[in-house]
Amino acid sequence: MVIADRKNHRIVQWKIGDTNGQVVAGGTGQGNRLDQLDTPIDVLIDKKTDSLIISERGNRRVVGWSRRNGTTQGEILIDNIDSYGLAMDGHRYLYISDALKHE
């Protein structure tokens, strides 16, 4: 399970039996660099690419972040969006809510 830890500006992964989660994205402080997150609101796993898709409220962007070992930063997929929710269907179409546009 992955959790958007918005107040700590990171994504944390928990595996069954874990007593501590593992930071898998962000965790380097609040900011807008590609190795930082700012108020992540939602996260999902793209199983085909083994990556995370993260909606950031503070940076008004959606970023992709590989789950492979050694990955230290994400890439901007969409910017200038007030996203609050993410969903992906079986065909890998990504749906993003935009609170400002009420979409």
Domain harbouring 12, CATH code = 2.120.10.30
> Computed over its alpha carbons, how large is the radius of gyration of the chain?
13
The pTM of the full predicted model, rounded to 2 decimals, is 0.92
The Cβ of residue 36 has, within 10 Å, a number of other Cβ atoms equal to 20
- Per the structure, how many domains does the chain have? 1
* Cα distance between residue 32 and residue 30, in whole Å: 7
- Residue 8 DSSP code: G
pLDDT in tens, 60-83: 999 999 998 778 899 999 999 999
pLDDT band at 56 (very low <50, low <70, confident <90, very high): very high
Residue 40 lies in a domain: yes
Dihedral sign, CA of 38, 44, 46, 52? positive
| Structural domain harbouring 75 | 2-98
Residue 94 lies in a domain: yes
Residue 103 lies in a domain: no
pLDDT number for residue 100:
82
